[in-house]
Amino acid sequence: MSFVASFQAFSRRYSLIGYAGVGIFCTICDLAAYNILLRCKVPVWLSATVGYVVGLLVGYVLNATLVFQKQQTTASFIKYSIVSAGGLLITVVVIDFLHTKTHKLSPNAAKFVALFFVFFWNYALTSLWAFR
């Protein structure tokens, strides 16, 4: 059995865990883009936005294929993007508050706090609406 087939079989039974596995990979992609842009002196909010969009695109393909085993359609991409836009808003607000306004956390630490909230937001709405 191939890795993809094994992951799909596992995800059918444990979609939250499969979603988390995809989420970890997407987070790595997101953080890579985010940190590259921060090092290039791009503003924090724009770096977070671009990183999030990178994660969104990777996440859509992997979640549709591996976790929810759904056909990739324009409608599901639009729904997934709407859910992710809500997650992006949460991310930018948390980073802005924890890093920019209060100066309590570094940009990466603030991003990790945001990831905690966004994970549950995205999973709930993706599983209940985007890939239904």
Q: Could you give the angle at the alpha carbon of 100 between the alpha carbons of 96 and 105, nearest 5°?
A: 95
* Average pLDDT over every residue of 26-54: 93
DSSP 8-state assignment for residue 54 = H
If you ran DSSP here, which 8-state letter would residue 104 be given? -
pLDDT, tens digit, 9 for 90 and up, residues 56-70? 999 999 999 888 888
pTM metric for this prediction = 0.76
* Orientation of helix 74-95 relative to helix 44-62, angle to 10°: 150
Alpha-carbon separation of residue 49 from 5, 22, 54 (angstroms): 32, 19, 9
Domain of 42 in residue numbering reads as: 3-130
When divided into structural domains, the chain yields a total of: 1
Mean pLDDT of the chain: 89
Q: What is the pLDDT of residues 77-113, one digit of tens each?
A: 999 999 999 998 998 899 999 998 998 899 889 988 9
pLDDT band at 7 (very low <50, low <70, confident <90, very high): low
- Cα 122 from chain centroid (whole Å): 7
